[in-house]
Amino acid sequence: MSDTKSLYVFCQKCHENILVDIETDAVEKMASGITSVLSVHGNPQHAALIYVDKNYMVRGVEYPSSLEIEKTVTTVVESTRTSYRQEYLSFSSLVDLFGKKRKEAVWAFSRIITQAFLGGSVYIVHDSPTTASTVVERLQEFFTEDVHIAAVTHDQVKSLSPSDCVYSIQTDEFISEGNSITTKTLEKMVVQCLKDESSFFRFKLDLSKLAFAYRNVKGILAEQKGKIKDTEIAKKAKIEVENVPFLLEMAESEGMDVSGVIHNGLSRIARGF
């Protein structure tokens, strides 16, 4: 019997993380390096065709409009699909707008995304409204829910709150960094996505998955009255356990009590234990 690898994927149809099981033997035998997994789920039922590479990273998702749905929920077939089309402003070009060097840009970009992720106000500054608006529109595409990211000129900065996250893409610097938050996990995610041919899609999908799980984590913590294992949080939140430390750090930054969480397994490694 073949072993299976489980991973969560964000579904844009039902706006939830879905669990997909992939047969490892089937992945290893794929000559093209890309496997497609068909997941039929939801109410009403719909299908998501998920493309996964040999490192079990999601490379693409399609939603067939017409499909004969059988009782078998997942099927593995070979695919030659490798990437999605390039957009007008690529992911790498977008990231590099936030620093003179790639490492600095990744940190600044991750900080901006995290601020928006947590519901903070983010302002992109440039004296050309068109330039700033283009960047803002691209940043907003990463989020499935409304976030406050806006374009302003340098003359308008003085009217903003000190708690706002304000970055000038004209002078390559933060005017205000906003709330103190951790960005290491997101920085790693950005670096990994930059290596992918479908980097913009990959980052949006990964961020959507984290956002869905984070809403669940906050609900779990709000209702929890005793100790709870990180593995249980991962299962309830529908996310891999290695992502739990990042979500807990976000929750703690918003004033939630995370002292009752018992860490073990991959979560302990992620936290540096």
Q: For residue range 131-178, what is the model confidence (pLDDT) as tens digits? A: 999 999 999 999 988 999 999 999 999 999 989 999 999 999 999 998
Q: Which residues pair with 77 in a beta bridge?
A: 36
Cis peptide before 44 (omega within 30 of 0): yes
Q: Which residues pair with 11 in a beta bridge?
A: 16
Assign 213 a pLDDT band (cuts: 50, 70, 90). Answer: very high
Neighbours of 25 (CB within 10 A): 12
Q: Where are the alpha helices (DSSP H) in the chain?
A: 24-29, 91-96, 102-117, 129-140, 184-194, 199-223, 230-237, 244-253, 265-270
Q: Give 181's DSSP letter.
A: -
Domain ranges of the chain: 4-79, 91-177, 216-270
Q: What is the pLDDT of residue 192?
A: 92
Does residue 246 contact residue 183 with C-beta atoms inside 8 Å?
no
Q: Between these two residues, 265 and 64, which has the higher pLDDT value?
A: 64
Does residue 52 contact residue 6 with C-beta atoms inside 8 Å?
no
Which two three-digit tokens encode residue 191? Answer: 């670096």
Q: Give 13's DSSP letter.
A: T
Q: CA 86 to CA 125: how far, in whole Å?
A: 26
pLDDT reading at 77 higher than 80 = no
What SS3 class is residue 179? coil
Q: Give 184's DSSP letter.
A: H
Q: What is the pLDDT of residue 81?
A: 36
Please tell me the pTM assigned to this model.
0.79
